[in-house]
Amino acid sequence: MPCVAAFLVPGLPHPMLKPDNLPWGQLASAYQRAGRAMSAARPDTIIVYSTQWLAVLDELWQTRPHLKGQHVDENWYEFGDLPFDMTIDTELAHACITATRAIGVTSKPVNYDGFPIDTGTIVADHFLNEGSAPLVLCSNNIYHDWAKTVGLGRVAAETAEQLGRRYALVGVGGLSGAMFREAIAIRDDRIHDPEADRWNRTVLDLIERGDVAGLKRVLPDYQKQAKPDMGLKHLAFLLGGLKENFFGARVHGYGPVWGSGAAVVEFRL
Amino acid sequence: MANGEIIAGFLAPHPPHLVYGENPPQNEPRSEGGWEPLRWAYERARKSLDELRPDVLLVHSPHWMTHVGHHFLGVRHLSGKSVDPIFPNLFRYNFELTVDVELAEACCAEAGKAGLTAKMMRNPNFRVDYGTITTLHMMRPQWDIPIVGISANNSPYYLNTEEGMEEMDLLGKATRRAIEATGRRAVLLASNTLCHLHFHEEPAIPEDMSREHPENYEGYKWDMRIIDLLRKGQTREVFRLLPQFVEEAFAEIKSGAFTWMFAAMGYPEIPGELHGYGTVIGTGNAVMEWNLVKAGLAGRGAASGYRPAPAYAGASY
């Protein structure tokens, strides 16, 4: 079974927690459009890679069958709590754990009551998973480079195909990383600086046109100049899962979250 | 006028393995022990803390990392289960703590006056980070002393080490002023490891000490050099070397707790007492104490403990 949908989405909680603030509300609306597209695609399972689920020793995969709770973001707690209620595709998660050995990655299951689910995963699930499809959640090992993350995405996708899943891929993370380091008038939120904005738009344009070669060409400079979230590894995961095969993309929305760049992108498959 | 004072500072690292090795009732996983020399080091620190009888413990933790300024826990009672996302197999700890909100607010206000962005955390559902919990448990497992929890603003990483340490210097001095103004007898806890180079795999039995050793020889030598200088009271030299230590040993000192603590204490050139050193998955960890009462810098009849900041800490406040 093929990939039925793929999205690159932001992981900060502001669109979810305070959509009445216009800049964030516009991102929330974009997220909702993407959510409708996800529903229309009817995936059996949604594979999520979030830059905010950090791992150090191994690659981690959530294998607790049901996760329910309330999370408070360590930075953005003033905007409220983040409830979550998720079902995990444990069969696929375990299969991925075994499969990653083939690319030299040691994986481990995570099945603990109270394990901290990251903000990005919760936000993505909130907006994109109206149908409550089971999820596969995998971590961002900070020592995995771009190539290894591409490999991880590919393995996750291939494993899903082997199990006959209609699967969707979601890469959760931000674009340019510069943030305002003080209080701001939130209604006036904007991309931190014109150069970061220019870079974000360049990358989004390349994604929209499906220009993978162009993306690879600009990525080193983008990473250096705009310091995107975790070097944009969430895109690496998607490219690996898609085997770089996509016809283009639709940017449902692009805007700031406290100065950092955020975009909701739906890949055309 | 209230005459609060800082009576001691401790370098009090937070590897969750130490809690795991101790098997306290609050922690769900069970172990056969492990990391005994470091845990015994903490026993010595606990004894000293018991004798000091502080009103409050202030802890600066790298695992509450904040983008917009320096944050302070501002809810009187916080509880929950702290699960380490890196070592959930070792640390799932049911905590309950009391915050000295008045002092936290005073620290926040002083930090603001010093030009720092500072915030109070008022969400009652906030889950306290595992670094704070581990340090506090290892120092005071009775949990009977109120605390102030302080975030690690990411300035050393977002900007650079030197600029970040300037902020931590200002934060430390602001902390001191708040303590003095509120009349507290305070102990500071810098929740930092030294060399942070570590293994990338965990042994099948985490507490198998035959697998525990420094990950990196150069990192170990750096740790010994810094500890030796601290034991000799050569504080200024330590801070001169700090950026290089951070760069070459990947020292967690970079996150700022160590600088915050020393700035608050006034960079005293007094010997630090080494309670013990050990590695945890290869990282270097020292439990050290600067007892300002014994040094005559705090307590009744103490001389002023203030010393000027090291040259690199260029803040003029």
User: Backbone dihedral region of B10: left (phi > 0), alpha (psi from -120 to 50 degrees) or beta?
Assistant: beta
* CA dist., res. B248 & res. B225, Å (int): 13
pLDDT band (50, 70, 90) for residue B315: very low
ipTM greater than 0.90: yes
Q: Is residue B145 part of a domain?
A: yes
| Nearest residue to B235 (alpha-carbon basis) of B191, B176, B284, B295 | B295
CA distances in angstroms from A2 to A41, A158, A196, A241, listed in the order given: 11, 9, 35, 10
Q: Look up residue B187 and give its DSSP letter.
A: E
Per CB-CB distance under 8 Å, the chain B contacts of A115 are: 83, 85, 88
* Predicted confidence (pLDDT) at residue A189 exceeds the cutoff of 60: yes
How far does chain B reach from its first CA to its final CA, in angstroms? 22
SS3 A260: strand
Average pLDDT, chain A: 97
* Predicted confidence (pLDDT) at residue B129 exceeds the cutoff of 70: yes
Per CB-CB distance under 8 Å, the chain B contacts of A183 are: 68, 117
Question: What are phi and psi for residue B285, nearest 5 degrees?
Answer: -135, 125
* CA dist., res. A265 & res. A124, Å (int): 12
pLDDT band (50, 70, 90) for residue B311: very low
* Predicted confidence (pLDDT) at residue B1 exceeds the cutoff of 80: no
pLDDT score for A1: 66
Q: Is residue B296 part of a domain?
A: no
Is B69 within 8 Å of A182 when comparing Cβ atoms?
A: yes
* Predicted confidence (pLDDT) at residue B59 exceeds the cutoff of 70: yes
A74 touches chain B (CB under 8 A): yes
pLDDT score for B314: 36
- The residue assigned the tokens 């020399």 is B37
Burial (CB count within 10 angstroms: exposed 0-12, middle 13-18, buried 19+), residue A103: middle
Kindly give, in sequence order, each residue whose CB lies less than 8 Å from that of residue B59, ignoring residues fewer than 6 positions away: B12, B132, B135, B136, B147, B148, B149, B150, B188, B189, B191, B257
Q: Look up residue B206 and give its DSSP letter.
A: T
A20 touches chain B (CB under 8 A): no
pLDDT band (50, 70, 90) for residue B313: very low
* Domain housing B267: 5-291
Greater pLDDT, B317 or B197: B197
Per CB-CB distance under 8 Å, the chain B contacts of A143 are: 200
Could you read off the pLDDT of A2-57 as tens digits, one per residue?
A: 899 999 999 999 999 999 999 999 999 999 999 999 999 999 999 999 999 999 99
- Strand B77-83 and strand B92-98: the pairing is antiparallel
Q: Is residue B83 part of a domain?
A: yes
Q: Is residue B48 within 8 Å of residue B41, measured between CB atoms?
A: no
Query: Residues A101-120: what's their mean pLDDT?
Result: 97
pLDDT score for B300: 60
Q: Is residue B184 within 8 Å of residue B103, measured between CB atoms?
A: yes
* CA dist., res. B199 & res. A156, Å (int): 26
Could you read off the pLDDT of B183-198 as tens digits, one per residue?
A: 999 999 999 999 999 9
Query: Residues B100-119: what's their mean pLDDT?
Result: 98
In CATH, what number is assigned to the domain containing residue A234? 3.40.830.10
Q: Is residue B13 part of a domain?
A: yes
Query: Residues A93-103: what's their mean pLDDT?
Result: 98
Could you read off the pLDDT of B232-256 as tens digits, one per residue?
A: 999 999 999 999 999 999 999 999 9
Is A53 within 8 Å of B127 when comparing Cβ atoms?
A: no
- Strand A59-62 and strand A107-110: the pairing is parallel
Single-letter amino acid code for the residue at B270: I
CA atoms B15, B17, B19, B21: torsion sign: negative
* CA dist., res. A63 & res. A85, Å (int): 14
* Domain housing A230: 3-268
Query: Residues B294-299: what's their mean pLDDT?
Result: 95
Least Cα separation, residue A247 to chain B (angstroms): 36
Q: Is residue B283 part of a domain?
A: yes
Q: Is residue A132 within 8 Å of residue A87, measured between CB atoms?
A: yes
Single-letter amino acid code for the residue at A247: F
Number of domains, chain B: 1
pLDDT score for B191: 98
Number of domains, chain A: 1
Q: Is residue B282 part of a domain?
A: yes
Query: Residues A102-123: what's their mean pLDDT?
Result: 97
Which of A81-95, B163-177, B294-308 has the lowest average pLDDT?
Answer: B294-308
In CATH, what number is assigned to the domain containing residue B231? 3.40.830.10
pLDDT score for B307: 40
The partner residue sitting opposite B117, judged by closest CB among A53, A54, A183, is A183
Q: Count Cβ atoms below 10 Å from residue B271 Cβ, excluding itself.
A: 16
pLDDT score for B310: 43
- The residue assigned the tokens 């120092």 is B139
Is A116 within 8 Å of B83 when comparing Cβ atoms?
A: yes
Is B85 within 8 Å of A180 when comparing Cβ atoms?
A: no
CA distances in angstroms from A252 to A41, A50, A265, B150, B187, listed in the order given: 16, 19, 6, 39, 52
pLDDT score for B316: 33
The partner residue sitting opposite A77, judged by closest CB among B88, B123, B198, is B123
* Predicted confidence (pLDDT) at residue B113 exceeds the cutoff of 90: yes
Q: Look up residue B127 and give its DSSP letter.
A: P
Q: Is residue B80 part of a domain?
A: yes
A132 touches chain B (CB under 8 A): no
Residue burial A245-260, b: 16+ Cβ < 10 Å; e: rest: ebeebebbbbbbbbbb
Q: Is residue A62 within 8 Å of residue A88, measured between CB atoms?
A: yes
pLDDT score for B2: 75
Query: Residues B276-290: what's their mean pLDDT?
Result: 98
Query: Residues A157-172: what's their mean pLDDT?
Result: 98
Q: Is residue B291 within 8 Å of residue B267, measured between CB atoms?
A: no
| Nearest residue to B215 (alpha-carbon basis) of B283, B149, B115 | B283
pLDDT band (50, 70, 90) for residue B201: confident
Angle at alpha carbon of residue A150, lines to A148 and A153, rounded to 5°: 110
* CA dist., res. B44 & res. A198, Å (int): 57
The partner residue sitting opposite A110, judged by closest CB among B67, B88, B123, is B88
Q: Look up residue B226 and give its DSSP letter.
A: H
pLDDT band (50, 70, 90) for residue B304: very low
B202 to chain A: nearest residue by CA? Answer: A57
Q: Is residue B105 part of a domain?
A: yes
Could you read off the pLDDT of B64-90 as tens digits, one per residue?
A: 999 999 999 999 999 999 999 999 999
B80 to chain A: nearest residue by CA? Answer: A114
Helix (H) or strand (E) holding A217: helix A212-226
- The residue assigned the tokens 């509300």 is A25
Could you read off the pLDDT of B7-39 as tens digits, one per residue?
A: 999 999 999 999 999 999 999 999 999 999 999
Residue burial B142-174, b: 16+ Cβ < 10 Å; e: rest: eeebbbbbbbbbbbbeeeebeebbbbbbbbbbb
